[in-house]
Amino acid sequence: MGGAFEFAGDGTQAGTHMVEPAGGAMAWPLAQRAAVYRAIFERRDMRHFAGGEVATAVLHRLLLAAHHAPSVGFMQPWRLIRVRDAALRQRLHALVEQERQRTAEALGERGAAFLRLKVQGILDAAEVWVVALAEGRESHVFGRRTMPFMDVASAACAIQNMWLAARAEGVGLGWVSIFEPAAVAAVLDMPAGALPIAILCLGPVERFDDAPMLQQAGWAQRLPLAEVVFEDRWGRPCAWVGRAPNPRDLVAAVQPGCADMGPRRIVCLTEETTEWLYLLGQEHRIVGISGYTVRPRRARQEKPRVSAFLSAKIDQLLALKPDHVFGFSDLQANIAAELIRAGVAVTVFNQRSVEQILAMLAQVAALVGCSDVAAGHLAAMRARLQGMQEAVAQRLAAGQRRPRVYFEEWDEPLISAIRWVSELIGIAGGEDIFPELATQPHGKDRIVHDPQEVVRRAPDVIIGSWCGKKFRPERVAQRPGWSDIPAVRHGQVFEIKSADILQPGPAALTDGVEQLHRIITEWMDRHGHDRTV
């Protein structure tokens, strides 16, 4: 039951001063403060229930908690209806089911993924309660003249109170809002003007998950705190957010097992591990990065740059007193050897395929004690790739064909796509014209010795990503014989920045593959049905 918390990307870090009460003498004792945060961080929206019942005394406390919520002008707009009649429950369930189908249609490409989500537990929950806004709200002008929806905000506070109290009571609660309000109002004989906003499913559950179900399913991720907090102007960051002490430490103080672990002074010799640690909210562990790092942008400002790809400033690097160094590939073997001899722990990954990238990300996350948080991100990446494949399959079923894609990693000599790029081209809807080269791990083995071979393989799309150098499509078009290539004839020559696709980490599996998918599906829209291009 419960246990570790999900703090995905909240950007906070461990701090020893956490237990100091912010409010001085007015603050509660440590254990009580911890209990409040525990309820907040362990509350979950529940859709799976274990039958049973909720004792009347518990229900009574939950209702009191709801009724003690804040409300605009103290209007207390909430009305709570217990649904005991099994036939009524069935009708509510049917209304939700109806709206679920409509929502799926409205979601378009994501509709199928949405239908796989469980979005209600109306038939299984011990209790069903409907929360509605009372009629006659027009008379409440205080706080609602410019924002009449403050009544909904107030009722949401009541539901949140109930949600937190239910978690502390060990009772699961799920908020279902997928319904047509007028239909629910009619089922429950509500007066004109009353507005149902929630069907609450309530009852015993087998477990509370550590992370939101929608996160585990890869539907959405919690945003980093720094992304939603501004100072003075919209979009202007608030400097200390993300560096604030972590409330998790307060909870950990009374509940062992949530403490920070793993290396605390990491040097990342390549970009992908840096990006990943930032995504995990673990950037405070990084003490040095690669000079090529651009993701996230702020890493360049925040961290010393101590390495190129093939070389590193070993003295400077050691002066940072790293307790772990992450590297990539046999090309960094010499740097790694020097560091190991100097007594540093070094992990050098050698991921080449999409699966190997995902495995590397899971291993890095485990090293810094973030497996749970990582699982959500990885599930989201997998889900997006799967969604892309499904969208491509639909296009193929509708008679479109995959474009032949030539991906150029370097121009002098020509080097074609590395394995993960080749795989991502396939996932995004294309077909790599040099699949036999993609399996070669080393650039020298992916050289296209005869440029006329590209002409012969007649790619429909050419994508350049000249490893750190600006791509020049006009030069590609000027190569002898290349003006006959369909991609050149139809202006289908594009660049994807190497930072987005040639790093075997989060970038390639998110922004990189999205760009591939956009280029490829735009080609399919225009030429996918045309067999002669």
Ligand X SMILES: Cc1cc2nc3c(=O)[nH]c(=O)nc-3n(C[C@H](O)[C@H](O)[C@H](O)COP(=O)(O)O)c2cc1C
Q: Interface residues with ligand X (CB under 6 A)?
A: 44-45, 47, 119-120, 175-178, 212, 214
Q: Write down the least CB distance from residue 177 to ligand X, Å.
A: 4
Other beta carbons less than 10 A from residue 248's beta carbon: 23
Q: How far is the CB of 425 from ligand X (least distance, A)?
A: 33
Minimum separation from the CB atom of position 87 to ligand X (A): 22
Minimum CB–partner distance for residue 103 and ligand X (Å): 9
The number of angstroms, rounded, from the C-alpha of 161 to the middle of its chain's C-alpha atoms is 27
Q: What is the dihedral of CA 511, 516, 521, 523, to 10 degrees?
A: 140
Q: Are 90 and 169 in contact, with CB atoms under 8 Å apart? A: no
DSSP code for 108: G
Rounded (5°) CA angle 421-427-432? 50
| 231 CB burial (10 A radius; 0-12, 13-18, 19+) | exposed
Helix, strand, coil share of the chain (percent; to 5)? 45, 15, 40
Say if CB 85 and CB 177 are below 8 A apart.
no
Element (H, E) at 431: strand 431-432
Q: Is the CB of 117 or the CB of 455 nearer to ligand X?
A: 117
Nearer to ligand X, 171 or 357 (CB): 171
Closer to ligand X by Cβ: residue 133 or 437: 133
Give the residue from 391, 367, 409 showing the smallest Cα distance to 497: 409
Q: CA 424, 271, 413 angle in degrees (round to 5)?
A: 60
Residue 6 vs 408, nearer CB to ligand X: 6
**Smallest distance from the beta carbon of 248 to ligand X, in angstroms?**
16
- The smaller minimum CB distance to ligand X, of residues 129 and 175, is found at 175
Q: How far is the CB of 44 from ligand X (least distance, A)?
A: 4
Task: Provide, rounded to whole angstroms, the least separation between the CB of residue 6 and ligand X.
Answer: 8
Of the pair 99, 275, the CB lying nearest ligand X is at 99
In the complex with ligand X, which residue's Cβ is closer, 45 or 514? 45
- Helix/strand/coil for 240: coil
Cα 452 from chain centroid? 43
Nearer to ligand X, 30 or 178 (CB): 178
Give the number of other Cβ atoms within 10 Å of residue 428's Cβ: 24
In the complex, residue closest to ligand X by CB? 212
In sequence order, the β-bridge partners of residue 414 are 411
End-to-end CA separation in angstroms for the chain: 59
Q: Shortest gap between Cβ of 43 and ligand X (angstroms)?
A: 6
State whether residue 385 is helix, strand or coil: helix
Closest distance between ligand X and the C-beta of residue 100, in Å?
Answer: 9
Phi, psi of 396 (to 5 degrees): -65, -40
Q: How far is the CB of 47 from ligand X (least distance, A)?
A: 5
Please report how close the Cβ of residue 175 comes to ligand X at its closest, in angstroms: 4
CA dist., res. 220 & res. 380, Å (int): 7
**Partner residues linked to 199 by β-bridges:** 130, 176
Between CA 497 and CA 501, with CA 500 as vertex, the angle to 5 degrees is: 90
Q: Which is nearer to ligand X, 80 or 433 (CB)?
A: 80
- Residues 6 or more apart in contact with residue 212 via CB below 8 angstroms: 6, 44, 45, 220, 222
Q: How far is the CB of 97 from ligand X (least distance, A)?
A: 12
47 or 517: whose CB is closer to ligand X?
47
Q: Which is nearer to ligand X, 164 or 415 (CB)?
A: 164
Min dist CB 257 to ligand X, Å, is: 20
By beta-carbon proximity to ligand X, the closer residue of 120 and 161 is 120
Residue 233 per-residue DSSP state:
E
Sign of the C-alpha dihedral computed for residues 176, 180, 182 and 185 taken in this order? negative
- The number of beta carbons lying within 10 Å of the beta carbon of residue 325 is 29
Nearer to ligand X among residue 131 and residue 268 (C-beta):
131
Rounded Cα distance, 441 and 356, in Å: 13
**Helices marked H in 429-509:** 435-438, 452-457, 473-478, 486-489, 498-501, 506-507
